[in-house]
Amino acid sequence: MKRAQILDCTLRDGAYLVDKHFGDTVVKGMISGLMESHIDWIEIGFLQTDEFGEGKNIFANAADAARCIPRDKRNTLFTVLADYSRYDVEWLEDNPGNSFDAVRVCFFKKEREDAVRFCQRVVEKGYKCFVQPVDILGYSDSELIDLIEKINPLDPYCFSIVDTFGSMYEDDLERVFHLIDHNLIYTAKIGFHSHNNLQMSSALSQSFLRMTYSRRESVVDTTVSGMGRGAGNTPTELIVQYMIQKLGYSYNLDAVLDLIDTYMPGICARCSWGYTTPYFIAGCYSAHVNNITYLSNKNGIVSKDIRYILNKIGSQPRKRYDYDLLETTYADYLSADVDDEDAFAQLASVFSGRKVMVIAPGSSALHCAKEIQAAGQDALVVSINHIPKEIAVDYVFISNRHRYNYWKEDTVFAGIPKIFTSNLAFAKGEQDYVISYKRLLKCGWENMDNSAILLLRLLDKLGVHGVGIAGFDGYDVNSGNYAQKDMERQLSAADAIKINKELADMLADILAEKEHIERIYFVTPSRFESVVNNAL
């Protein structure tokens, strides 16, 4: 009977979520727990010719990585991943015997000729070599066979099926597996590395184990709690349980559960992963997860917008990530051309020279209603993407599609004049105005479509004299950021810090470039008061 092995790559694939910096204490604790679980392979991080250092899961060579590997490996084998484009194989010394046992070499299809020579050097230096072609579904049958024929003379330890974008279904796996099995040298194992974009990762890993059972030695990649970028990976605990219960293996599930209890709560406080609709769309289009992360940060974007943009940029660009291309494509998509001259002129006749009270949807808009009412008595009151409680408003500014879809059936909302941006699909009423998105959008920030920022730009263009701002509070980590609970969004500490910084930068940009507004001030507490004060 041919044997299957588990390769846990939490410390490598999961490292993307913590800036490749778990810290040595966590690394050693995770390794100890995985060894106690009898996991066959532990991947401890990356080989790179830059960014390595103490506490990081990045290593310059075997000597550097040895600090993380116990002297007594028992029956556990250790590996690192080398991205062909980010590592000079000549930095790697001959296998000293006290560090990692194997190098997994990943590469894109266009790099495969040079990557074969890279793999050859790994073997010559005395390491087991895993061949990890990125996006294996992007290879034609003939291209894959050609690669295997070039790899076979190296006698690789393993050739892996890498479902980089989480795009595989079971028939895809069967086709690729049988093609590799038929052509790969029989001394080599076949590996499988999947992502959970289609909620298929665990099921496909189980299918892979059944395909290889008694046929071919195999290695299946997993991570503890499925930790990995975007939708994540096959959970170690699920495959351990499956192999114990269905295939008769003797892994220690309790030790894996202890690892989860000990380390995952702290890690989850730093980052998040798992299936979402945007990551499902990434799987449908074989798109790099960074594209999804970038687009999902846009305030008004909806799932079908993400589909459109991924389709628009094309099959090859979306397998990598080009933030400038994404930003311009997104801006072009939202900036539907409309003739807004009449609407703009009508608004200018009302707003020019006036004082305006802007009510953003932050929690202070709820807690400071009396102060807002008092400050807005002689002003035009404009709320943003919501209807505030206890405060009468003259206009609602709507640029966020999610918020419009939420409020469009509300009877109070229906009776208030609305200022729409042209990126929305809406039923315009007689009292409503549509302003071209192009007038208000300025590229350069991920959160460039923030509704409060767009409204401030519009008010300046309309010739407003002064602007009081309420409810523009900034973001904390999941601590009641909105006046209405239905508007809440989940944020990590890093997300909150990044959004706050961008909002501060965009507000400072408005203050520096405004033409008509003479004064901007805050009526309710805000993180951004210092930005305004510094501009005075």
pTM of the model: 0.70
With a cut of 50, which residues of the chain have pLDDT below it? none
- List, for residues 348-361, the tens digit of each pLDDT value: 999 999 999 999 98
State the Cα–Cα distance between residues 145 and 175, nearest whole angstrom. 13
pLDDT of residue 149: 97
Task: Report CA 230 to chain centroid distance, whole Å.
Answer: 5
Which 8-state DSSP code applies to residue 111?
G
Separation of alpha carbons 355 and 64, rounded Å? 63
pLDDT for 90 equals: 95
Q: Are the C-beta atoms of residues 344 and 435 closer than 8 Å to each other?
A: yes
Q: What is the CATH number of domain 341-535?
A: 3.90.1480.10
Q: Where are the domains of the chain?
A: 4-268, 277-334, 341-535
pLDDT in tens, 161-189: 999 999 999 999 999 999 999 999 999 99
pLDDT of residue 190: 98
Radius of gyration in angstroms for the set of CA atoms belonging to the chain, rounded to a whole number: 28
Q: CB atoms < 10 A from the CB of 36, how many?
A: 16
CATH code of the domain made up of 4-268: 3.20.20.70
pLDDT score of 461:
95
DSSP string, 508-535: HHHHHH-SS--EEEESS--TTHHHHHHH
**DSSP codes joined into one string, 316-382:** TGGGS--HHHHHHHHHHHH------HHHHHHHHHHHTT-EEEEE-SBTHHHHTHHHHHHHTTTSEEE
Q: What is the number of residues in the chain?
A: 536
Measured CA to CA, the distance from residue 380 to residue 344 in angstroms comes to 16
Q: 3-state DSSP call for residue 68?
A: helix
